[in-house]
């Protein structure tokens, strides 16, 4: 029963258009969600105070079921849990979530699906810092300080992983993301939302998730590729979560599908003062932090996200990735969205 446990989890990453895409999914006639028709509201069942241990699993599952049963859609084929911080809490949430799902015979982790959206990480960090720097957001550090502290944390993470032999399960356990990539003081959930730089180090987060849930259960979508053709992007996501895009159980018309795909909410609209802090020099500094992890990410995923600068330089004229280069890198792709040269060009230009 789709109301016993979500058939798919939309786990992040935050600031990667998750609100817009969750709203599009929540609008689908055959997807039930705690988020309701408008897509607002994150579930936060397995993170924060609830993350600690599998012994809470029964209570967590009941809480999740109550959320799903709040807005049931008759004849739903799929159900969604949406919490964009789950991706980052990769050392706690998978164990907690899979522990809870084990309590229902049919709903084990290995037969659920996991949706992840990514965004060029410099742009993601800027969006995150600006969002949290608004009144009441909890961020008081300058962008410069965030970049410098984030770079130091990233170095610490790399050193830890090197010391523990790279990217296998032992290294994942030895170098927990919330300790290594979250600004101190550790142990405060608030600090996770201030991990503006760390959250863009996607490769470490996905590796930790893949250590717990089979890789083929994930669809990982760079939003630059999704929005190069949003209708196709949404259709692909719908196929992955097991519902038709159009027809009796799908959107009523191509126009309705397109309108859902083009929902755009949750813009930061930063003040001029915040924008002025984001200089080209700091963005370059940040791009250097992500350079190697971005390339590791492509290797982990088996397709070109468009974020790996080395692939761009090696395979193409400056700033542009050719379709041939992408196809070469993407051979063996399992879950990447179809890549169009225009979308990759957009990524190449957005990284500065
Ligand atoms: N349709 C579409 N196209 C392009 N970009 C889009 C779209 N929808 C949302 N966005 C941008 O995504 C940012 C918000 O992401 P999230 O909704 O995931 O943020 S949150 O973590 O839930 O707070 C936020 O980015 P910034 O404006 O740079 O802050 C949104 O503008």
Ligand 1 neighbour 227 (Cβ under 6 A): yes
Are the C-beta atoms of residues 254 and 116 closer than 8 Å to each other? no
Ordered per-residue pLDDT tens for the chain, 352 residues: 898 999 999 999 999 999 999 999 999 999 999 876 555 688 888 887 655 555 678 888 898 899 889 878 999 999 999 999 999 999 889 988 998 898 887 888 989 999 999 999 999 999 999 999 998 889 999 999 999 999 999 999 999 999 998 767 888 889 999 889 999 887 777 889 999 999 999 999 999 999 999 999 999 999 999 999 999 999 999 999 999 999 999 999 999 999 999 999 988 889 999 999 999 999 999 999 999 999 999 999 999 999 998 655 555 444 433 334 434 443 433 333 333 333 333 333 332 2
Q: What is the number of alpha carbons within 13 Å of residue 140 lying toward its C-beta?
A: 1
Q: Which two tokens stand for residue 213?
A: 């849930």
Task: Please give the pLDDT value at position 340.
Answer: 32
Task: Please give the pLDDT value at position 1.
Answer: 85
Helices 93-101 and 57-70: crossing angle in degrees, nearest 10, is 80
Q: Please state, in angstroms and as integers, the Cα–Cα distance from residue 209 to each residue in 172, 203, 213, 341, following that order.
A: 9, 10, 6, 30
Task: Please give the pLDDT value at position 349.
Answer: 31
> Which residue in 125, 133, 109, 114 sits closest to 274, CA to CA?
133
Task: Please give the pLDDT value at position 133.
Answer: 95
CA of 209 to the centre of ligand 1 (A): 23
**Which ranges constitute the DSSP H helices of the chain?**
18-27, 57-70, 93-101, 121-132, 143-163, 169-174, 177-180, 189-192, 202-210, 223-226, 230-241, 254-261, 272-277, 280-301, 309-315, 323-330, 341-350
Handedness of CA 131, 136, 142, 146 (dihedral sign): negative
Task: Please give the pLDDT value at position 45.
Answer: 86
Q: Which atom number of ligand 1 is nearest to the Cα of residue 20?
A: 8
Ligand 1 neighbour 84 (Cβ under 6 A): yes
Ligand 1 neighbour 18 (Cβ under 6 A): yes
CA of 137 to the centre of ligand 1 (A): 16
Task: Please give the pLDDT value at position 188.
Answer: 76
Q: Which atom number of ligand 1 is nearest to the Cα of residue 14?
A: 21
Are the C-beta atoms of residues 177 and 199 closer than 8 Å to each other? no
CB atoms within 10 A of CB 41: 16
Task: Please give the pLDDT value at position 135.
Answer: 85
Please list the residues that pair with 10 across neighbouring strands. Answer: 82, 115
Task: Please give the pLDDT value at position 44.
Answer: 86
Task: Please give the pLDDT value at position 232.
Answer: 98
> Which residue in 210, 205, 178, 209 sits closest to 193, CA to CA?
178
Q: What is the ipTM of this complex?
A: 0.99
Gap between the Cα atoms of 237 and 131, Å rounded: 27
What is the set of domains in the chain, with CATH numbers? 8-350 (3.40.50.300)
Task: Please give the pLDDT value at position 54.
Answer: 59
DSSP three-state, residue 331:
coil
**DSSP string across 42-110:** ---SSSGGG-S-GGGHHHHHHHHHHHHHHS--TT-SEEEEE-TTTTT-TTTHHHHHHHHHTTSTT--GG
Task: Please give the pLDDT value at position 269.
Answer: 86
Task: Please give the pLDDT value at position 339.
Answer: 34
Ligand 1 neighbour 15 (Cβ under 6 A): yes
CA 184 to chain centre: 23
Ligand 1 neighbour 19 (Cβ under 6 A): yes
- Of all protein residues, whose CA lies closest to atom 8 belonging to ligand 1? 264
Phi, psi of 210 (to 5 degrees): -65, -20
Please list the residues that pair with 285 across neighbouring strands. Answer: none
Ligand 1 neighbour 225 (Cβ under 6 A): no
Residue 122 region, left (φ>0) first, then alpha (ψ -120 to 50), else beta?
alpha
Ligand 1 neighbour 299 (Cβ under 6 A): no
Separation of first and last alpha carbons in the chain: 47
- Of all protein residues, whose CA lies closest to atom 30 belonging to ligand 1? 267
CA of 267 to the centre of ligand 1 (A): 5
Task: Please give the pLDDT value at position 341.
Answer: 33
DSSP three-state, residue 27:
helix
Ligand 1 neighbour 20 (Cβ under 6 A): yes
Q: Which atom number of ligand 1 is nearest to the Cα of residue 16?
A: 18
Mutation to probe ligand 1, out of 266, 269, 275, 283 (largest number of atoms < 8 A from CB): 266
Q: Which atom number of ligand 1 is nearest to the Cα of residue 128?
A: 29
Mutation to probe ligand 1, out of 127, 221, 283 (largest number of atoms < 8 A from CB): 127
């Amino acid at each position: 029963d789709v109301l016993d446990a979500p058939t798919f989890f939309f786990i992040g990453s935050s600031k990667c258009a998750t609100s817009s895409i969750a709203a599009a999914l929540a609008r689908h006639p055959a997807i039930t969600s705690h988020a309701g028709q408008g897509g607002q509201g994150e579930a936060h069942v397995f993170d924060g105070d609830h993350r600690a241990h599998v012994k809470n699993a029964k209570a967590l599952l009941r809480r999740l079921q109550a959320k799903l049963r709040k807005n049931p859609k008759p004849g739903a084929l799929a159900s969604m849990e949406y919490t964009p911080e789950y991706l980052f809490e990769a050392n706690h949430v998978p164990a907690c979530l899979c522990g809870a799902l084990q309590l229902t015979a049919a709903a084990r982790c290995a037969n659920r699906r996991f949706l992840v959206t990514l965004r060029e990480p410099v742009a993601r960090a800027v969006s995150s810092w600006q969002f949290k720097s608004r009144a009441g957001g909890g961020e008081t550090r300058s962008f410069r300080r965030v970049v410098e502290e984030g770079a130091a944390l990233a170095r610490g993470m790399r050193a830890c992983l090197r010391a523990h032999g790279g990217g296998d399960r032992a290294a994942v356990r030895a170098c927990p993301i919330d300790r290594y990539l979250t600004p101190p003081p550790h142990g405060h959930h608030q600090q996770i939302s201030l991990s503006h730089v760390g959250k863009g180090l996607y490769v470490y987060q996905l590796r930790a998730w893949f250590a717990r849930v089979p890789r083929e259960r994930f669809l990982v979508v760079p939003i630059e590729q999704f929005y190069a053709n949003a209708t196709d992007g949404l259709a692909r996501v719908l196929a992955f979560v097991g519902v038709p895009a159009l027809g009796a159980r799908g959107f009523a018309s191509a126009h309705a599908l397109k309108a859902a795909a083009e929902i755009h909410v949750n813009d930061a609209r930063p003040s001029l003062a915040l924008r002025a802090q984001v200089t080209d020099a700091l963005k370059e500094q940040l791009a250097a932090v992500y350079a190697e992890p971005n390339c590791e990410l492509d290797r982990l995923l088996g397709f070109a996200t468009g974020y790996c600068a080395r692939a761009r330089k090696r395979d193409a004229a400056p700033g542009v990735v050719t379709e041939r280069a992408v196809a070469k890198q993407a051979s063996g792709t399992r879950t990447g969205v179809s890549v169009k040269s225009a979308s990759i060009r957009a990524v190449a230009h957005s990284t500065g």
